A and B are shown apart, each in its own frame.
Chain A
Amino acid sequence: KAGVTQTPRYLIKTRGQQVTLSCSPISGHRSVSWYQQTPGQGLQFLFEYFSETQRNKGNFPGRFSGRQFSNSRSEMNVSTLELGDSALYLCASRNQGLEQFFGPGTRLTVL
């Protein structure tokens, strides 16, 4: 069974731009969560989607948003990029159990 896939793997943007990251969960998984990983703050929860509904949200500004489609694929968007948004963005999917399976991440660099 294929794992969680994330595209693109690397992105370079400049301040003020916006970016959209994509995540395809493991087939059959309906829950998708997003995390931000930085050297300073570690791994922080962004939000979780289940059946196209946002079920939980972390403490990030409104510039960070997401959505989930009917096929469970998810996207997250960051608008008005800041230097501090440079990070590895991880997506995780989950089936009916409690275990989350992580993708390889998208490395975003903001210049």
Chain B
Amino acid sequence: AQSVSQHNHHVILSEAASLELGCNYSYGGTVNLFWYVQYPGQHLQLLLKYFSGDPLVKGIKGFEAEFIKSKFSFNLRKPSVQWSDTAEYFCAVSFSGGYNKLIFGAGTRLAVHP
């Protein structure tokens, strides 16, 4: 079955530290990849997306992600986190033929301490 794995369930960082959140999926075909963020009390917002082309994609708020097809991975990165990045981060994948069905990872709760 198609699935998405996020390696870290909880991450605690100090401000200015670098962030990398892992995401792997299980599917050998064409995929569309997303990272969503859910700030406390707010709804899911799209951080960035990959459909095709340059595997390094840049999103909002200084986030970027790299698609490595050979590793079935789409890791999220940010060189320097801020306290306002405290949120839950979800990796999601849609598979060819799946129309709009997004399969989400379990999420990573990020806490950034000042």
Contacts and interface: CB of A to CB of B under 8 A. Distances in A.
Contacts of A58: 101
Interface residues of B, number: 23
Contacts of B105: 42
- The number of chain A residues touching the other chain, given as a range, is 20 to 34
A33 interface: yes
Contacts of A42: 104-107
A56 B99 contact: yes
Residue of A35, A58, A94, A100 ringed by the most chain B CB atoms within 10 A: A100
Interface string A25-37: 0000001010100
13 contacts: A33-B102, A43-B107, A44-B104, A45-B102, A48-B100, A50-B99, A56-B101, A58-B101, A98-B94, A99-B34, A100-B46, A100-B100, A101-B46
